[in-house]
Amino acid sequence: NDVLKSAIDYEQCALKLKPSEHPTFFSHQAISINGEQFFSAEDISTWIPNIYLLREACSLNDGVIFIKNNQIVPLSSGQRLFAYIVINVVASIKDNSLIVIDEPELFLHPTLEIEFVGLLKKILKPFRSKAILATHSLSITREVPSKCVHIFHDEGEGLEILPPPFETFGGNVQRISSYVFGDKSISKPFDEWLEMQLQDIGDPEKLIEMLNEEINEEMIMKIMSLGKKHHGR
């Protein structure tokens, strides 16, 4: 509920009841809006033993309706998709589940990306479950520790999967952007200089030793990667 309310300003959520000429078991609990009837989702738990009757009475194709001041809250496409994902993840997860989400940033505002990651953090551990998110989002990457981030590189020499050499959780956005999501198709002058130095010296460890105090974590990772690429070591 709190996760949904971070994205949608509503008082209660409900399911739309199918039109009926006769009163149903749910009519006395229905919310009437503009001639239509809705059944509050807060009352659903009391009807679990009669879930078949509930499914028959509700128009499930309309999905969950959000209500405030006895009016239906209009949703943006992003809010609708966020609600759909959150409700389905919470409803479907069970012990030892694997949740796979492909590029949630394509349809979620950065604020909602953070809220979604927060939801996963709350529900994964109690259910002993895992989640895989394929993403290019700085917001998502900044919300998880570096041990959970895996960078996929393919520069023509085969696929490499590397961890970032710095902590991403709460990390510097510019640093994450340049290292994790840098455009590897553009040859940077610094990369070319490193390649020339490595070709002259021939040993990545000697190059690291030569650079001494001028070197940082990213440079070490880059030099070792270049050494593997050119010398197989």
| Residue 180: Cβ within 10 Å count | 20
Q: Say whether pLDDT at 3 is over 70.
A: yes
Per-residue model confidence as pLDDT tens digits over 110-141: 989 999 999 999 999 999 999 999 999 999 99
Question: Where in the chain are the domains?
Answer: 8-72, 77-132, 187-233
Average pLDDT, the chain: 82
Task: State the SS3 of the chain.
Answer: CHHHHCCCCCCEEEEEECCCCCCCCCHHHEEEECCEEEEEHHHHHHHHHHHHHHHHHECHHHCEEEEECCEECCCCHHHHHHHHHHHHHHHHCCCCCEEEEECHHHCCCHHHHHHHHHHHHHHHCCCCCEEEEECCCHHHHCCCCHHHCCEEEECCCCEEEECCCCCCCCCCHHHHHHHHCCCCCCCCHHHHHHHHHHHHHCCHHHHHHHHHHHCCHHHHHHHHHHHHHHHCC
Per-residue model confidence as pLDDT tens digits over 86-109: 988 988 999 999 999 999 898 888
Lowest mean pLDDT, pick from 107-116, 144-153, 223-232: 223-232
The pLDDT of 60-86, averaged and rounded, is 89
pTM of the model: 0.65
The pLDDT of 2-23, averaged and rounded, is 82
Lowest mean pLDDT, pick from 52-56, 59-63, 121-125, 140-144: 52-56
Lowest mean pLDDT, pick from 29-43, 96-110, 155-169, 184-198: 184-198
